[in-house]
């Protein structure tokens, strides 16, 4: 079953899901949506973040790609319940980490909500393509 999952992947859906989700992150964390209040909740100011933190952006892109790849594998297998369990696990661990870091409830909801929305976008892309 392993090689069929790799060979049968819809790489266009994975790439498009990655790009759409990554671009959504720019909007999600912008002052137009949740960025200003999120930044306050993590102890930052968006004005202080004038330059993009390259390492964080590369890490985010890599993680977004890995999630899109995972969604692609789960789509082939029809394992949407397993995918949902994995995404919920990630969200719960992120929320716990946010609580340890003493982030605001708003910041935690913004971060975990973004992961949920990314997963939905990726599933939709896999379904449509």
pLDDT digits (tens, 9 = 90+) for 90-115: 999 999 999 999 999 999 999 999 99
The percentage of residues in the chain with a pLDDT greater than 90, rounded to a whole number, is 83
Domain count, the chain: 1
What is the pLDDT averaged over residues 120-124? 98
Is residue 63's pLDDT more than 60? yes
| Domain housing 74 | 2-128
The percentage of residues in the chain with a pLDDT greater than 70, rounded to a whole number, is 93
Q: 118: closest CA among 27, 2, 5?
A: 27
Mean pLDDT of the residues in the chain: 92
Question: What kind and span of H or E run contains 22?
Answer: helix 11-28
Confidence of residue 1 (pLDDT cuts 50, 70, 90): very low
Confidence of residue 8 (pLDDT cuts 50, 70, 90): confident
The whole-angstrom separation of Cα 20 and Cα 36 is: 22
27-61 pLDDT, tens digit each = 999 999 999 999 999 988 877 666 778 899 999 99
The whole-angstrom separation of Cα 81 and Cα 90 is: 14
């Amino acid at each position: 079953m392993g090689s069929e999952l790799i060979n049968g992947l819809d790489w266009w859906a994975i790439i498009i899901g990655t790009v759409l989700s990554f671009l959504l992150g720019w909007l999600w964390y912008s002052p137009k949506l949740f960025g200003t209040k999120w930044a306050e909740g993590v102890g930052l100011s968006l004005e202080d973040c004038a330059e993009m933190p390259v390492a964080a952006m590369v890490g985010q892109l890599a993680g977004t790609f890995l999630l899109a790849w995972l969604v692609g594998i789960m789509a082939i297998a029809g394992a949407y319940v397993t995918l949902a369990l994995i995404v919920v696990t990630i969200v719960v661990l992120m929320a716990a980490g946010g609580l340890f870091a003493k982030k605001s409830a708003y910041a935690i909801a913004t971060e975990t909500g973004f992961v949920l929305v990314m997963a939905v976008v990726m599933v939709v892309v896999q379904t449509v393509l």
